[in-house]
A and B are shown apart, each in its own frame.
Chain A
């Protein structure tokens, strides 16, 4: 009787859950088509869950544990209950087994409650999520009593048992109701998202990392259809992107990692995703959102719908929110649901820039200069080499060949960056490296244009740079600019360019290891290394700069946020150009991290980082580009 009742309740609720999920799927299936390997994805799903997702979740062990207990217990309990009802009946052994898994789940639920009631991390959403511990406890607790009672032969009055079953059913309903809007939604959508992910290469069964933006076809495939560039409305996203948004469990890890949020810029990546989720509904508003808002912007003012523009002053996403993003991928790095926030931001920016010309602030001016002169400052391309007039850098002409090409990037127009480039050139000379430069034929790599959504300018630059490089024979390209590194290494292949691209930190480490450079004056200072996002998170290179610093004899200290989990300087994604104001400046926040280490110097390995961190006013650690430190440490006495 109890078993039947239970199974009935469970099956009914699961059926409702399935119905909800199907109903829900209409929302994300409304997106644009996407090429997805359905079978391969489903096959890869368990592995991705157990490896990739757990790799992320495991970074906070407490959370990983309660999640394993609750989810494991819950799924096992459901399976047992269904099995007991459908096939095996209520044997005492099965009841005992059920009691065990429910006890496991109860333990996890208590941990959930402890976290939500006692620890109360500020990034957690409230609202429907606040009821989560109660539902979990209600389901596991009530059923545990019933299961124990049944295992002992059923001493409890049946009426009481039925009341408990009913209570568990209510709790279960609440959990499953969440498939539609609530905590449990993430289970269904998260699993589907893992299977149909827009970047399957990012998982361990692929390349393990996939961070390059994908080309946007600029001409419509079908001449008769005007086609829209980028994303204007929710339905303009590919369906599996919408699915990804629906996977968000509002855990707030992205919020904690986001440098813009930390500086009080109006961007909370969690809210951004939830804005996208809410917008999928017909008459949408963010009123139901119960997490932290975009800083400086309240909740409840945003309105939209699946077929309405997403970005606007009264729309779901305020332009300032969209343009606050530095594309640093900290949110993506932290997201246990594998959501690709930055892709979404760039998709939205593409529409704003390409269709509306609504790129804000100095960014629009920069893009105009870039289109006119192929460099963001609007200067003659010869001026990229002014700083090196006395260095006689060999130019690699079309048809020529060299071992190594030095790609100097747009930092070469900047006084500060010229200093570190000069240091690098002196080091290459000192180490006897055979290298050349492109001279006037080096154009901007297009990184900033692309992150600002100007795919047309990016593609124009990329196509021409690829042609220039392909007209020469070279073994490797070295650059001190991680943005150029990323663009050349990961984004130019789509335009027919494929070379070995190395960051100067890796090259300098090789040169020291090979004995081509000798450390004569160990630095001997306390130094903390600030990982460039485009070197670390985008390319996984976090070891070489550290090994290099160790090799030149620094006393290395780590910031709390370092390596793949480093925090952005604020210089990426065109953020210094869009210049959305917040409570603080992003580099100020980052410099605070550096200050906490007590290090006397922050070593940087990216021109943007150098400029952003050196722009921090007031007493602070010195900022030095890593090549400058290596130069000083390998100085030959004359």
Chain B
């Protein structure tokens, strides 16, 4: 195959609009909105992609067109009144300056939202059919609802055009109002809007006719839709093709943005946002099927994480634009790197789903491996050179240490990285051992490659102590020594092993195993899955209300699916309070969190996951020798100022501790600790 550049760096013409290449980012909801507006943070996030060479960036997933489709409570965008127009103008200027096109997604979510927020209005839909994901029974739309909502769509469309956007798409996917009408699973009407597919398509057609009338034929309008709802009572692939053809042939839409599945239950939602357990581009065939029939440009997103796959999708004619939305969250400059022949430098999305999992619990989208994404105002994607070159020693080659070494090297410093193990990566190497979590290793792979390319002196298999650190005559010492498993302080804790012991292969899982998970993160669930796959009979117990409670909505369903498939027993609401031996077996005492009744399990092994405790021995050896006594000034750190105590050039060094070496947290925290500190060193 030729270079990805050949297929991807080819403009696409839609009406008057020339999109400079075939790579885009689909509208999504990063939670950066403020008062229903795309303000500076939201704009900078997309501007970075425009700087990075993207052809089209679409913002504002599920931007609202009406008061009964709330958006602001999720820090999203409301296009329901004219006050948004000035923000659109500022936004489009900002993106156009870099040559990219900018569009938004408009929608009415119908029943796929909550009634108990913002305006406290009942939700509406084609029928009073309950939506499982939001536990919400809508009102069946009546005549004036049609008039009001269609007018709302048209007015929102006008606002987009007045705001200088290059176009917009209406969402008719993921079970929004338009596809609620389409899907027989949600539409039970018997009037002209229900029954036959022709009738079910009617509402959407009326919407598009109204917006066409409002913005004219020369404005670019698209539609996001499923290529197959993948449920028995939903839309089939053939239905979807028929819909796309009908809308396209009537001149209502200029592009169709196809995805696979729908999102009305937990697993369906996870499947529609495929994580690292899925192959790349799992639903490309659905977009391809519609491309063959629709006769208009087809866009497609869903786990296209690498440019080679993207190029294949375009080159083989499956789609016209390939969306690399999460890929841009990991690296907003990926197109520029393609243009500059620096494919190796692309920080590839690993599919951890950290970004999207955060937004469904009300957080903002952040990348597990790129601390600058969504923080463009304070964190640079391209690290500027420091004015003064320093000697930096980083101890620890996990994600925090690697990122610290990378950023310091980008700053132009002379960097030594000391890592105790034979390979870099720290705990990522352990996490990646657990079945489908293997792709986590991509985080280490990129960081290691970058530090090597940047000339960091990486010394593996070196246990750092005071002498080895001081032998380097450092100006700055950064300790990213990570943590060690917290084994708990209950009685008999020494009779348990850790998830590290299991995943590293130090202890082979055998017989019956109790996996006790006190964190609710990936660790316990993935270790349980790993052990069950290796033949152990596994029970996972947790004091939480469900297994993997802290894992987000695109990952937890996959954990649960796999654990169920492997017949892992899931025991929730139980605390592990004691372990005692019985022969060469173990007895675990589990106490119900609510009744405080105790149960016992006689098992061959007990595995405990309680997070980590810091490896801080070296830190305390160096603390009193350092100029700043190990203190990172938090005000300077947050303000993006250099630390107040700097190496003075007359011997002595400043000392900083980052990541789990301070307190056990996660990969993003370690990387953000490192990047935030080191960008000002």
A-to-B contact residues, CB < 8 Å: 383, 386-387, 389-391, 415-416, 418-419
Contact = CB atoms under 8 A, between A and B. Distances in A.
Nearest to B53: A390
Contact of B9 (A391, A415, A416): A415
Contacts of B5: 415
Q: Which of A383, A386, A387, A390 has the most CB of B within 10 A?
A: A390
Interface string B88-101: 00000000001110
Nearest to B3: A415
Contact of B18 (A389, A416, A418, A419): A389
A389 B3 contact: no
Interface in B316-361: 339-341
B339 A389 contact: no
Contacts of A387: 9, 339
B339 A419 contact: yes
Interface string B1-43: 0010100011100000011110000000000000000000000
Given A415-B3, A419-B339, A390 B99 contact: yes
B20 to A, nearest CB: 4
A415 B2 CA distance: 13
Given A391-B99, A415-B3, A386 B341 contact: no
Contact of A415 (B11, B18, B99, B339): B339
B20 A390 contact: yes
Given A386-B9, A415-B9, 20 more contacts: A386-B10, A386-B11, A386-B21, A387-B339, A389-B11, A389-B18, A389-B19, A389-B20, A390-B18, A390-B20, A390-B98, A390-B99, A390-B100, A391-B99, A415-B3, A415-B5, A415-B340, A416-B341, A419-B339, A419-B340
Contact of A418 (B3, B19, B98, B339): B339
A389 B98 CA distance: 12
Contacts of A419: 339-340
10 contacts: A383-B10, A386-B10, A389-B19, A389-B20, A390-B20, A390-B98, A391-B99, A415-B5, A415-B340, A419-B339
A383 B100 CA distance: 18
Contacts of A383: 10
A147 to B, nearest CB: 72
Contacts of A418: 339
A386 B99 CA distance: 13
A383 B2 CA distance: 15
B340 A389 contact: no
A408 B7 CA distance: 21
Nearest to A377: B6
A416 to B, nearest CB: 6
B385 to A, nearest CB: 12
Nearest to A422: B339
A387 to B, nearest CB: 7
Contacts of B18: 389-390
A389 B341 contact: no
A389 B10 CA distance: 8
B179 to A, nearest CB: 33
Pairs A-B, 7 closest by C-beta atoms: A390-B99, A389-B11, A389-B20, A390-B20, A389-B18, A386-B10, A415-B5
Nearest to A638: B97
Interface of B: 3, 5, 9-11, 18-21, 98-100, 339-341
A595 to B, nearest CB: 18
B341 A415 contact: yes
B1 to A, nearest CB: 16
Nearest to B12: A389
Contacts of B341: 415-416
Nearest to A415: B5
Contacts of A416: 341
A415 B340 CA distance: 7
A389 B19 CA distance: 7
A383 B8 CA distance: 12
A418 B341 CA distance: 11
Nearest to A380: B10
A415 B336 CA distance: 11
Contacts of B3: 415
Contacts of A389: 11, 18-21, 99
B340 to A, nearest CB: 7
A415 to B, nearest CB: 5
Nearest to A385: B11
B172 to A, nearest CB: 29
Nearest to B339: A415
Contacts of B9: 386-387, 415
A143 B508 CA distance: 103
A389 B100 CA distance: 10
Nearest to B100: A390
A416 B339 CA distance: 8
Contacts of B98: 390
A298 B316 CA distance: 51
B420 to A, nearest CB: 30
B397 to A, nearest CB: 24
Nearest to B11: A389
A389 B20 CA distance: 5
A387 B98 CA distance: 14
Nearest to A416: B341
A387 B8 CA distance: 11
B637 to A, nearest CB: 26
A415 B339 CA distance: 6
A391 B96 CA distance: 11
B315 to A, nearest CB: 14
A575 B9 CA distance: 28
Contacts of B19: 389
A583 B573 CA distance: 74
A383 B11 CA distance: 9
B389 to A, nearest CB: 15
Nearest to A418: B339
Contacts of B339: 387, 415, 418-419
B416 to A, nearest CB: 20
A393 to B, nearest CB: 12
Contacts of B340: 415, 419
Nearest to A413: B6
B47 to A, nearest CB: 12
A468 B673 CA distance: 60
A391 B20 CA distance: 9
Nearest to A379: B6
A635 to B, nearest CB: 13
A389 B8 CA distance: 13
A391 to B, nearest CB: 7
Nearest to A391: B99
Contacts of B20: 389-390
A265 B62 CA distance: 64
A352 B119 CA distance: 82
A386 B53 CA distance: 13
A331 to B, nearest CB: 34
A418 B19 CA distance: 17
A621 to B, nearest CB: 16
A11 B576 CA distance: 122
A317 B376 CA distance: 64
A556 to B, nearest CB: 23
Q: Which of A386, A391, A416, A418 has the most CB of B within 10 A?
A: A386
Nearest to A614: B341
Contacts of A390: 18, 20, 98-100
B307 to A, nearest CB: 13
Nearest to B21: A389
A391 B99 CA distance: 7
B44 to A, nearest CB: 14
A410 to B, nearest CB: 15
A272 to B, nearest CB: 37
A617 to B, nearest CB: 14
A415 B4 CA distance: 11
Contacts of B10: 383, 386
A390 B54 CA distance: 11
Contacts of A415: 3, 5, 9, 339-341
A383 B3 CA distance: 15
